[in-house]
Amino acid sequence: MFSLSIVIPAYNEERRLPLTLEKLREFIARHDFRFAEIVVVDDGSRDGTASVVREAASHDERIRLVQNPGNRGKGYAVRHGMQEARGEWVLMTDADLSAPIDEFDRLAARVEAENAHGAIGSRALDRSLIGIRQPAFREFSGKVFNFVMRMITGLPYRDTQCGFKLFSRAAAECVTKRQLSDGFGFDVEILFIARKHGFRILEVPVRWDNAEGTKVSLWNGIAAFLDPLRVRWNNLKGLYR
Protein backbone atom coordinates (compact mmCIF):
# COMPACT_ATOMS: atom_id res chain seq x y z
CA MET A 1 0.00 0.00 0.00
CA PHE A 2 1.22 3.52 -0.73
CA SER A 3 1.94 6.29 1.76
CA LEU A 4 -0.46 9.19 2.25
CA SER A 5 -0.31 12.72 3.60
CA ILE A 6 -3.61 14.40 4.50
CA VAL A 7 -3.29 18.20 4.35
CA ILE A 8 -5.84 20.39 6.13
CA PRO A 9 -5.75 24.19 5.71
CA ALA A 10 -7.15 25.64 8.93
CA TYR A 11 -8.16 29.14 9.97
CA ASN A 12 -9.97 29.52 13.30
CA GLU A 13 -10.98 25.86 13.39
CA GLU A 14 -10.51 25.01 17.08
CA ARG A 15 -14.13 23.88 17.44
CA ARG A 16 -14.22 21.56 14.42
CA LEU A 17 -10.71 20.10 14.50
CA PRO A 18 -11.01 17.73 17.48
CA LEU A 19 -13.77 15.67 15.83
CA THR A 20 -12.13 15.97 12.40
CA LEU A 21 -8.78 14.70 13.68
CA GLU A 22 -10.51 11.80 15.44
CA LYS A 23 -12.29 10.83 12.22
CA LEU A 24 -9.02 11.00 10.29
CA ARG A 25 -7.24 8.82 12.84
CA GLU A 26 -10.03 6.24 12.57
CA PHE A 27 -9.80 6.41 8.77
CA ILE A 28 -6.06 5.74 8.84
CA ALA A 29 -6.58 2.82 11.24
CA ARG A 30 -8.97 1.20 8.71
CA HIS A 31 -6.36 1.28 5.94
CA ASP A 32 -3.09 -0.51 5.46
CA PHE A 33 -1.03 2.54 4.54
CA ARG A 34 2.73 2.03 4.52
CA PHE A 35 2.95 5.49 6.04
CA ALA A 36 0.29 8.07 6.86
CA GLU A 37 0.30 11.53 8.37
CA ILE A 38 -2.10 14.40 9.03
CA VAL A 39 -0.63 17.83 8.31
CA VAL A 40 -2.70 20.71 9.70
CA VAL A 41 -1.66 24.11 8.37
CA ASP A 42 -2.62 26.91 10.75
CA ASP A 43 -3.17 30.01 8.61
CA GLY A 44 -2.62 32.60 11.33
CA SER A 45 -5.66 31.59 13.39
CA ARG A 46 -6.78 33.93 16.18
CA ASP A 47 -8.31 31.16 18.26
CA GLY A 48 -6.87 27.96 19.75
CA THR A 49 -6.41 26.08 16.48
CA ALA A 50 -2.67 25.59 17.02
CA SER A 51 -3.17 24.46 20.62
CA VAL A 52 -5.76 21.87 19.56
CA VAL A 53 -3.37 20.41 16.99
CA ARG A 54 -0.43 20.41 19.40
CA GLU A 55 -2.51 18.56 21.98
CA ALA A 56 -3.58 15.96 19.43
CA ALA A 57 0.00 15.61 18.14
CA SER A 58 1.26 14.94 21.67
CA HIS A 59 -0.82 11.74 21.63
CA ASP A 60 -0.29 10.75 17.99
CA GLU A 61 2.97 11.27 16.12
CA ARG A 62 1.17 11.03 12.80
CA ILE A 63 -0.34 14.49 13.40
CA ARG A 64 1.81 17.50 12.56
CA LEU A 65 1.26 21.22 12.94
CA VAL A 66 2.58 23.59 10.27
CA GLN A 67 2.13 27.32 10.79
CA ASN A 68 2.00 30.07 8.19
CA PRO A 69 3.65 33.45 8.88
CA GLY A 70 0.32 35.10 9.62
CA ASN A 71 -2.98 34.85 7.75
CA ARG A 72 -1.84 34.33 4.15
CA GLY A 73 -4.88 32.67 2.57
CA LYS A 74 -6.14 29.19 1.79
CA GLY A 75 -4.04 28.85 -1.35
CA TYR A 76 -0.87 29.64 0.59
CA ALA A 77 -1.87 27.19 3.33
CA VAL A 78 -2.49 24.36 0.88
CA ARG A 79 0.79 25.03 -0.93
CA HIS A 80 2.69 25.12 2.36
CA GLY A 81 1.10 21.88 3.51
CA MET A 82 1.71 20.07 0.25
CA GLN A 83 5.35 21.12 0.29
CA GLU A 84 5.71 19.83 3.85
CA ALA A 85 3.95 16.53 3.09
CA ARG A 86 6.06 13.37 3.04
CA GLY A 87 3.67 10.87 1.50
CA GLU A 88 3.74 9.45 -2.03
CA TRP A 89 0.19 10.79 -2.37
CA VAL A 90 -1.23 14.00 -0.93
CA LEU A 91 -4.90 14.47 -0.10
CA MET A 92 -6.17 18.00 0.49
CA THR A 93 -9.36 18.17 2.53
CA ASP A 94 -11.23 20.94 4.34
CA ALA A 95 -11.38 20.99 8.13
CA ASP A 96 -15.15 20.56 8.09
CA LEU A 97 -14.93 17.29 6.11
CA SER A 98 -17.78 18.40 3.86
CA ALA A 99 -16.68 15.52 1.68
CA PRO A 100 -16.45 12.61 4.16
CA ILE A 101 -12.93 11.24 4.45
CA ASP A 102 -14.07 7.79 3.31
CA GLU A 103 -14.66 9.31 -0.14
CA PHE A 104 -10.89 9.01 -0.47
CA ASP A 105 -11.46 5.36 -1.41
CA ARG A 106 -13.55 6.46 -4.38
CA LEU A 107 -10.79 8.79 -5.61
CA ALA A 108 -8.00 6.27 -5.02
CA ALA A 109 -9.86 3.50 -6.84
CA ARG A 110 -10.33 5.65 -9.95
CA VAL A 111 -6.72 6.83 -9.90
CA GLU A 112 -5.48 3.25 -9.65
CA ALA A 113 -7.86 1.91 -12.28
CA GLU A 114 -6.97 4.59 -14.83
CA ASN A 115 -3.32 5.06 -13.88
CA ALA A 116 -3.88 8.79 -13.32
CA HIS A 117 -1.79 11.33 -11.41
CA GLY A 118 -4.62 12.50 -9.20
CA ALA A 119 -8.33 13.07 -8.76
CA ILE A 120 -10.61 15.84 -7.55
CA GLY A 121 -13.90 15.40 -5.76
CA SER A 122 -16.87 16.81 -7.65
CA ARG A 123 -20.32 17.91 -6.54
CA ALA A 124 -21.45 18.55 -10.10
CA LEU A 125 -21.18 15.10 -11.71
CA ASP A 126 -23.80 13.44 -9.52
CA ARG A 127 -25.88 15.86 -7.46
CA SER A 128 -27.81 12.99 -5.90
CA LEU A 129 -24.74 12.49 -3.69
CA ILE A 130 -25.21 15.92 -2.11
CA GLY A 131 -26.88 15.59 1.27
CA ILE A 132 -27.11 19.16 2.56
CA ARG A 133 -27.06 21.69 -0.25
CA GLN A 134 -25.62 25.18 -0.26
CA PRO A 135 -27.99 28.17 -0.27
CA ALA A 136 -29.56 28.58 -3.71
CA PHE A 137 -27.62 31.76 -4.55
CA ARG A 138 -24.25 30.18 -3.76
CA GLU A 139 -25.09 27.07 -5.76
CA PHE A 140 -26.17 29.18 -8.75
CA SER A 141 -23.04 31.35 -8.46
CA GLY A 142 -20.91 28.22 -8.45
CA LYS A 143 -22.48 27.01 -11.69
CA VAL A 144 -21.94 30.40 -13.35
CA PHE A 145 -18.34 30.51 -12.11
CA ASN A 146 -17.63 27.06 -13.49
CA PHE A 147 -19.05 27.98 -16.91
CA VAL A 148 -16.92 31.14 -17.03
CA MET A 149 -13.85 29.27 -15.80
CA ARG A 150 -14.12 26.59 -18.49
CA MET A 151 -14.58 29.17 -21.24
CA ILE A 152 -11.51 31.14 -20.15
CA THR A 153 -9.07 28.38 -19.14
CA GLY A 154 -10.13 25.43 -21.27
CA LEU A 155 -10.22 23.16 -18.22
CA PRO A 156 -12.80 20.37 -18.60
CA TYR A 157 -13.83 20.08 -14.94
CA ARG A 158 -17.39 20.71 -13.80
CA ASP A 159 -16.41 21.52 -10.21
CA THR A 160 -12.96 22.89 -9.41
CA GLN A 161 -13.88 24.31 -6.00
CA CYS A 162 -14.69 21.19 -3.99
CA GLY A 163 -12.08 21.04 -1.23
CA PHE A 164 -11.21 17.37 -1.69
CA LYS A 165 -8.28 16.73 -4.00
CA LEU A 166 -5.72 13.93 -4.35
CA PHE A 167 -2.36 14.40 -6.07
CA SER A 168 0.64 12.19 -6.64
CA ARG A 169 3.89 13.45 -5.15
CA ALA A 170 5.18 14.40 -8.63
CA ALA A 171 2.04 16.38 -9.48
CA ALA A 172 2.02 18.12 -6.09
CA GLU A 173 5.64 19.19 -6.43
CA CYS A 174 5.04 20.48 -9.97
CA VAL A 175 2.04 22.64 -9.12
CA THR A 176 3.32 24.05 -5.81
CA LYS A 177 6.56 25.22 -7.41
CA ARG A 178 4.58 27.27 -9.91
CA GLN A 179 1.47 28.27 -7.95
CA LEU A 180 1.09 32.03 -7.58
CA SER A 181 -2.35 32.41 -6.02
CA ASP A 182 -2.58 32.55 -2.22
CA GLY A 183 -6.35 33.02 -1.99
CA PHE A 184 -9.48 31.01 -2.67
CA GLY A 185 -8.84 31.01 -6.43
CA PHE A 186 -5.88 28.65 -6.16
CA ASP A 187 -7.92 25.57 -7.18
CA VAL A 188 -8.26 26.65 -10.80
CA GLU A 189 -4.59 27.58 -10.96
CA ILE A 190 -3.18 24.30 -9.65
CA LEU A 191 -5.44 22.27 -11.94
CA PHE A 192 -4.40 24.41 -14.91
CA ILE A 193 -0.72 23.94 -14.06
CA ALA A 194 -1.12 20.19 -13.64
CA ARG A 195 -2.86 19.85 -16.99
CA LYS A 196 -0.30 22.09 -18.71
CA HIS A 197 2.51 19.84 -17.53
CA GLY A 198 0.88 16.64 -18.67
CA PHE A 199 -0.52 15.32 -15.40
CA ARG A 200 -3.81 13.47 -15.74
CA ILE A 201 -6.21 14.57 -13.01
CA LEU A 202 -9.62 12.89 -12.95
CA GLU A 203 -12.91 14.35 -11.75
CA VAL A 204 -14.82 11.96 -9.51
CA PRO A 205 -18.31 12.41 -7.98
CA VAL A 206 -18.26 12.37 -4.16
CA ARG A 207 -20.72 12.59 -1.31
CA TRP A 208 -20.83 16.11 0.09
CA ASP A 209 -22.70 18.10 2.73
CA ASN A 210 -22.66 21.86 3.10
CA ALA A 211 -21.22 22.86 6.49
CA GLU A 212 -22.10 26.05 8.29
CA GLY A 213 -19.33 28.51 9.08
CA THR A 214 -17.82 28.92 5.62
CA LYS A 215 -14.80 31.24 5.41
CA VAL A 216 -15.77 32.36 1.88
CA SER A 217 -17.22 35.86 2.03
CA LEU A 218 -19.34 37.54 -0.65
CA TRP A 219 -16.28 39.54 -1.71
CA ASN A 220 -14.21 36.34 -2.00
CA GLY A 221 -16.90 34.92 -4.25
CA ILE A 222 -16.99 37.97 -6.50
CA ALA A 223 -13.19 38.22 -6.66
CA ALA A 224 -12.99 34.53 -7.62
CA PHE A 225 -14.44 35.38 -11.04
CA LEU A 226 -11.19 37.24 -11.80
CA ASP A 227 -9.00 34.24 -11.00
CA PRO A 228 -9.46 32.41 -14.33
CA LEU A 229 -8.42 35.61 -16.10
CA ARG A 230 -5.31 35.83 -13.90
CA VAL A 231 -4.47 32.22 -14.70
CA ARG A 232 -4.85 32.82 -18.43
CA TRP A 233 -2.73 35.99 -18.22
CA ASN A 234 -0.02 34.31 -16.15
CA ASN A 235 0.13 31.50 -18.66
CA LEU A 236 0.50 33.95 -21.56
CA LYS A 237 3.41 35.55 -19.69
CA GLY A 238 5.05 32.14 -19.37
CA LEU A 239 4.90 32.03 -15.58
CA TYR A 240 3.80 28.38 -15.46
CA ARG A 241 6.63 26.93 -17.49
Give pLDDT tens digits for 118-173: 999 999 999 999 999 999 988 998 999 999 999 999 999 999 999 999 999 999 99
Distance CA 62, CA 174 (A): 25
Q: 199, 174 in Cβ contact below 8 A?
A: yes
Q: 204, 107 in Cβ contact below 8 A?
A: yes
Query: How is the chain split into domains, by residue range?
Result: 3-236
Q: What is the mean pLDDT of residues 207-224?
A: 72
Q: What is the pTM of this model?
A: 0.94
- Which of 11, 15, 14, 18 has its CA nearest to residue 42? 11
Beta bridge partners of 5: 37, 90
Domain 3-236 has CATH 3.90.550.10: yes
> Angle at CA 159, nearest 5°, toward 154 and 108?
105
pLDDT digits (tens, 9 = 90+) for 144-158: 999 999 999 999 999
Q: 221, 138 in Cβ contact below 8 A?
A: yes
pLDDT digits (tens, 9 = 90+) for 31-44: 999 999 999 999 99
pLDDT score for 184? 84
